[in-house]
Structure 1
């Protein structure tokens, strides 16, 4: 039971080195447990319980640790839509294997993204999953710029990292990634908001994020003085009460003279060019600024 308890305490998968050093488990104990079917050999030097997490087992079987967006999703952090298994492998590991069978080589059919980070300070492989800081650093390099910044925004917004920790994450990366620190906004409530914010600021549009409007609450983006942009994610507005609240907010905005645009997840992620065209047309017409023609509340 000592062996099984030890493996369970390590997340259901463990290296023989960790079992020996931290729990006093011998290789003989491991061999006996394997023969009894209590644990399975994942890869040389690693064993797991039968019910161990499949992603963790797959990452170790490949030859590394679960990392990048595969870890971010587990923390509820926004990241690019990519269901591949992301595995960090040390530079000296030459034989990467199938996540399903350690006897088979890794192939493109296995939907695995192997990372071999070269920057200094990358941790050695001692467990099956990377810490959040290492995973974030890989995700910054791995993802398109807008998604990478959205991941950093999300981690800050969920209080999973501090600003100081974010600086540490970016510090060892190449200069173009370190520059992301200048555009991160921990107030962002979703990746949709981040993407819209970055795109519109890149077009020179003046905007603020998460602005509180009387009788409305916080709005996602406020362009200029009066153009409100709301971004609706998959998980939002699914209940009748949410639908009604949206309409109440829209009425309250209109009553105060604001102009409102709402874009869906699909529109932002698949058809942003058209969304941007509409927004920029309103900005060019000064619809984002208070003018004499606009009716303002008394």
Structure 2
């Protein structure tokens, strides 16, 4: 791998000319690599590897960086996946005529989709004020969370902040302080718990709280381990995401856990994470119906 590709890779595929030069790449080397097709010039003084993500390229070409939920997703955090790409522009940037727009992709995202829908935020710092090591294609983690807190639905804000704790990118205390400092009137009263294993679990937990259903999370049982939820003290609810439950080993392990707990008089209800995400109230209805059946 050439030096310029190594530097671009270290910056996750996109870097400014200043970042390349600071890393030891000379100007003529940059020009030669562009002419040879080894790297792409996607904006004045901005360069990318050939397969850089289309969304990130679109954001940089517009003069901004990925922000809000799109940046949060790139950090491995929860987002509502509404289909748009959120772009953070400098606060002093010339305003466009709308905060939503469509831009063409160099290569279609899918067979029938050759444009990207953008949602724009004028809340980033000027390019000249960025730290030298800052990403040129996404805002820093804390800024992305701040943007999420200002524009997303309350439950999605909670899910994003819980996921940054779950992924150990911020401590529970730091995440709570950041949340409290951002849009305090809009988000008053939110308390993070740091026990949600996924965004889907956060959605389910918040719905339980809203409906007054008693539950505990990450409850340990001898010989079984931790369960996602113990609801009303008599029903285990597990939220199954595809990543951790997609093979035969996981299938057998889960059924073994369920059998042990059923033998102790505590049945298990498993709900796919996608079902919770699609309709969290319908998922809770399943839990309520199961509790009613147990009571009968």
Asked if TM exceeds 0.5, the reply is yes
1:88 maps to what in 2? 88
Contact kept, 8 Å, 1:62 with 1:99, in 2: the verdict is no
Describe the SS at the equivalent of 1:161. coil
Q: Secondary structure at the match of 1:247?
A: helix
Structure number having the greater strand percentage = 2
Instruction: For residue 98 of structure 1, report the CA deviation from its aligned partner.
Output: 3.4
- Residue of 149, 152, 176 corresponding to 1:143: 152
Structure 1 residues 29-108: aligned runs within 5 Å: 39-94=39-94, 98=103, 100=105
Cα distance in structure 1, aligned partners of 2:66 and 2:83 = 13
Aligned residue number for residue 16 of structure 2: 15
Q: Shift in Å at residue 93 of structure 1?
A: 2.0
What whole-Å deviation, never above 9, does each CA across 1:77-135 have from its counterpart, x for those lacking one? 2221234322111232226693647xxxxxx9532221223xxxx54334222111111
Q: Secondary structure at the residue paired with 1:262?
A: strand
Cα displacement (A) at 1:147: 2.3
Indicate yes or no: 2:230 matched with 1:222. Answer: yes
Shift of 1:186: 1.5
- Structure 2 residue 245 is matched with structure 1 residue 244: no
Note the 1:159-178 alignment, pairs <5 A. 159-178=168-187
TM-score by length of structure 2 reads 0.76
- CA RMSD in angstroms comes to 3.4
Quick check: 1:209 aligned with 2:182?
Answer: no
- Paired positions, count: 276
How far apart are the structure 1 equivalents of 2:10 and 2:240?
A: 40
Gaps of 5+ in 2: 97-101, 107-113, 131-135
Alpha carbons of structure 1 residues 265 and 19: separation in structure 2 relative to 1, 3 Å: closer
Q: Check conservation: 2:166, 2:195, Cα contact below 8 A.
A: yes
Closer/same/farther in 2, CA of residues 138 and 254 from structure 1, 3 Å limit: same
Cα deviations by residue, 1:232-287 (Å, 9 ceiling, x for unpaired):
12223221222222221122112212133221224322343333234335557884
Distance across 2 between alignment mates of 1:256 and 1:45? 65
TM-score (norm 1): 0.76
Task: State the alpha-carbon separation in 2 of the partners of residues 245 and 273 from structure 1.
Answer: 28
The answer as to 2:208 corresponding to 1:200 is yes
How far apart, in 2, do the equivalents of 1:2 and 1:236 lie?
Answer: 37
